[in-house]
Chain A
Amino acid sequence: MNEAWQQALSRVPELLAAHVQISVSALALAMLICLPLAIWAARSPRVAAVTLTIASLIQTIPGLALLALFYPLLLGVSALIGGGISAFGFLPALLALTLYALLPILRNAVTGLTGVDPAAQEAADGLGMTGSQKLYYVEAPLAAPTIMAGIRTAAVWTIGAATLSTTVGQPSLGDLIFAGLQTQNWTLVLAGCLFSAALAISVDLLLGLIERGIRERRRIWAWAGLAMIAAGLLVATLPLMIARDNIVVIGAKGFSEQYILARLIGSRLEEAGYAVRYRDGLGSAVVYQALSEGDVDVYVDYSGTIWTNQMQRSDNLPKAEMLEAIAQWSSHSHGVKMLGALGFENTYAFAVRPEDARAKSLRTLDDLARVSSDFNFGTDVEFLERPEWQMVRDAYPIRFKNARSFSPTFMYPALVSGEVDVISAFSSDGRIAANGLVVLADPKGAVPSYEAILLLAPARAGDQKFVAAINPLIDAITVDNMREANYMVDREGDKKTPRQAARWLNEKLRE
Chain B
Amino acid sequence: MPVSGPSIRLKNISRHYGNVCAVDGVSLDIAAGSMVALVGLSGSGKSTLLKMMNRLVEPDGGEIIIGADPVDSVDPHILRRRIGYVFQNIGLFPHMTIARNIAIGLELAGETEGRRERIAELLELVELPQEMASRMPDQLSGGQQQRVGVARALATRPGLMLMDEPFGALDPVTRDSLTDQYKALHQRLGLTTIIVTHDMAEALYLADRILVMEAGRIRADATPAELVSGNVGEEAEALVAIPRAQAAHLIALGNKS
Contact = CB atoms under 8 A, between A and B. Distances in A.
Contacts of B90: 119, 123
A125 interface: yes
Contacts of B104: 127, 137
B94 A120 contact: yes
18 contacts: A119-B89, A119-B90, A122-B56, A123-B87, A123-B90, A123-B93, A126-B54, A126-B85, A126-B87, A127-B80, A127-B85, A127-B104, A128-B78, A128-B81, A128-B108, A129-B108, A130-B77, A137-B104
Interface string A112-149: 00000111111111111110010001100110000000
Contacts, number: 64
Given A133-B108, A137-B104, A217-B136, A123 B77 contact: no
Interface string B62-88: 000000000000001111111001010
Nearest to A126: B85
B152 interface: yes
Contacts of B78: 128
What 10 A-B pairs are tightest by C-beta distance, nearest first? A123-B91, A126-B85, A128-B81, A128-B80, A119-B91, A119-B89, A128-B77, A141-B95, A130-B77, A120-B91
Interface residues of B, number: 24
Contacts of A125: 56, 80
B166 interface: no
Contacts of B82: 128
Q: How large is the interface on A (under 10, 10 to 19, 20 to 34, 35 or more residues)?
A: 20 to 34
B170 interface: no
B91 A128 contact: no
Nearest to B104: A127
B239 interface: no
B147 to A, nearest CB: 15
In this complex, the member of A117, A119, A126 whose beta carbon has the largest number of chain B beta carbons within 10 angstroms is: A126
A126 B93 contact: no
Given A128-B78, A128-B79, A122 B87 contact: yes
Given A130-B77, A217-B136, A122 B95 contact: no
A141 B90 CA distance: 18
Contacts of A127: 80-81, 85, 104-105, 108, 152
Given A123-B87, A128-B108, A217-B136, 19 more contacts: A117-B91, A119-B87, A119-B90, A119-B91, A120-B94, A121-B91, A123-B85, A123-B92, A123-B93, A126-B54, A126-B85, A127-B81, A127-B108, A128-B78, A128-B81, A129-B77, A133-B77, A138-B93, A217-B95
Interface string A182-224: 0000000000000000000000000000000000010000000
A130 B136 CA distance: 24
B56 A137 contact: no
Contacts of B85: 123, 126-127
Nearest to A131: B77
